[in-house]
Amino acid sequence: MAGLYFEEFYVGQEFEHALSRTVTEYDNTMFSLMTMNPQPLHLDAHFAETTEWGQRLFNSYYTLAILVGMSVYDTTLGTTIGNLGMTDVKFPKPVFHGDTLRARTKVVGLRESKSRPDAGLVEFEHTALKQTGDEVCTCRRTAFMRKGPVA
């Protein structure tokens, strides 16, 4: 497994994820349509030109999904039982077509499971940045993680 087991995490642990992704107009349009989001800021170039942004905004929920997705290989691939929740989701700067996203993660909390001796909870703080270095998305995510096999 590429992901880590509960016992392999520690508070303060940091990951600079190697994956990056340039987002496109196609990504934005398809995600917005698939999620039934008709927001003209995402879909209507002429409307978006009249806004303070001057162009279409990349869908923030897709930015969040990409951020969490970029963290999976280094942290939870094959070792998570499931996500328990997200808090403190923020989008401090906009993302536009053609921006390239990268991610980093910090472990901010650990707790043994009260109901399952084979699992624990890991709280991650995820941050997405674009090519300018600007933070474009942050969130805290609690993952329900498997403990490693017993020898």
Positions of the chain with pLDDT lower than 50, given as ranges: none
Domain CATH code at residue 57: 3.10.129.10
For position 48, what pLDDT does the model report? Answer: 97
For position 151, what pLDDT does the model report? Answer: 65
Q: Would you say residue 37 lies in a domain?
A: yes
Domain of residue 37: give its range: 11-146
In angstroms, the CA 136 to CA 29 distance is: 19
Q: Would you say residue 120 lies in a domain?
A: yes
Q: Would you say residue 4 lies in a domain?
A: no
* CA atoms 63, 67, 72, 76: torsion sign: negative
Task: Output the CA–CA distances (angstroms, integers) from residue 19 to 15, 16, 91, 104, 119, in the order listed.
Answer: 11, 9, 20, 10, 28
For position 1, what pLDDT does the model report? Answer: 56
- Number of structural domains (the chain) is 1
For position 26, what pLDDT does the model report? Answer: 97
Q: Would you say residue 67 lies in a domain?
A: yes
